[in-house]
Amino acid sequence: MFVTGGTGFVGTHLIRELSSRSDFKVVALVRDRKGDMPTNLDQVYACSEEISAAKLPFRRGQAVVHLAARAHLSKRATVNALHEYRKVNVAWTLEIARQAAAAGVNRFIFISSIGVNGNANSRPFNTKDIPAPAEFYAQSKWEAEQELAELAAQTSMELVIIRPPLVYGPNAPGNFGELVRWIGKGIPLPLGAIHNKRSLVGIDNLVDLIIRCIDHPAAANQVFLAGDGEDLSTTELLRGVANAMGKPARLIPVPAGVLQFGATLLGKTAMAQRLLGSLQVDISKTCELLDWKPPYTVEEGLRRCFEPSHQSITR
């Protein structure tokens, strides 16, 4: 197994699980050393600027899970944001995939984003939807998907694409981490009357799905949507997080329309969409084709976020 982005949030959990299984020998491509990585892990160090000049140690018949990506930009980089995303998420991804195909890698698993489908919907997204990325990050992921599909069609390397929604887990970065901090500080939140529906995927469920895709025959050259199979409103999610943390959920029931109006005035429409809008994912194809079901419920996944044995993995 060859995993890129080995020190990232998903990569750390994936490598831990793979390394615990005797049937996987794992090699990780990482940008920096991390002291708590498994001792039986082979690590290859390279930053994105070095990849084109480096010869990565792929092996014939190997599977590659490509997690490395640029998900966030500093404020100084926003002028050329799409270009910056494309450098890593498209050009760098394609260079790695080309090297993998040339070395005889059997399967390339690309972790994309549900943002390729869009950032809001009135019905659950599925893999037959026409892609409608609304943000630069998602646009770069969609472009990478197309380039990878073209490469796979020209070579013997199989391609698997997984599009996850928001990923939560112990010490998760991004939006989920913000929610945890709000609850942990006991901040009163005007989010007690939100009736949207959003799909999530727990890190343990996502890792289980990725591993299922490594050698399942039906996964070859398919696109899969990931999820827990349960949709929550923002209010339900916050209450679930608070319950898992053993903290009170200080939620004030403010109508969503009032919050949307205020967010528009303050130029916070993107944040409002994530908190107030719906984004549901249909994982029926994933479950049926791969004979898979998420091993953990949302309640179990949230509880595992705050168990000491799981929190230590990403610290």
Q: pLDDT at residue 55 above 60?
A: yes
Q: pLDDT at residue 96 above 90?
A: yes
pLDDT of residue 56: 87
Overall average pLDDT of the 225-248 stretch:
96
Contact of 162 with 211, CB cutoff 8 Å = no
Comparing CA positions, the residue from 9, 20, 5, 8 lying closest to residue 211 is 20
Q: What's the Rg (C-alpha) of the chain? A: 20
Overall average pLDDT of the 75-97 stretch:
84
Q: pLDDT at residue 49 above 70?
A: no
As given in the structure block, the two tokens for residue 265 are 């005035």
CA distance 108 to 99: 11
CA distance 164 to 228: 10
Overall average pLDDT of the 129-149 stretch:
96
Lowest mean pLDDT among 40-44, 150-154, 176-180, 254-258: 40-44
pLDDT of residue 191: 96
Q: Please name the residues in contact with 7: beta carbons below 8 A apart, sequence gap of 6 or more.
A: 28, 30, 31, 32, 34, 37
As given in the structure block, the two tokens for residue 40 are 């039986």
Q: Strands 231-232, 198-202: parallel, antiparallel or unpaired by DSSP?
A: antiparallel
Q: What is the 3-state secondary structure (H, E, C) of 91-107?
A: HHHHHHHHHHHHCCCCE
pLDDT of residue 122: 86
Overall average pLDDT of the 247-256 stretch:
95
Segments making up each domain of the chain, as ranges: 2-163
pLDDT of residue 270: 85
Catalytic: 168? no
125 confidence band (pLDDT: 50, 70, 90): very high
CA distance 108 to 97: 7
pLDDT of residue 36: 63
Overall average pLDDT of the 257-281 stretch:
92
Percentage of the chain beyond pLDDT 90 is: 73
Overall average pLDDT of the 187-209 stretch:
97
Q: pLDDT at residue 25 above 90?
A: no
52 confidence band (pLDDT: 50, 70, 90): low
100 confidence band (pLDDT: 50, 70, 90): very high
Q: How many CA atoms lie within 13 A of 137 on its CB side?
A: 13
| Options 45, 85, 137, 168, the catalytic residue | 137
pLDDT of residue 9: 94
Helix/strand number for the chain, H first, E second: 12, 10
Q: Does domain 2-163 have CATH number 3.40.50.720?
A: yes
pLDDT, the chain, mean? 90
pLDDT of residue 187: 92
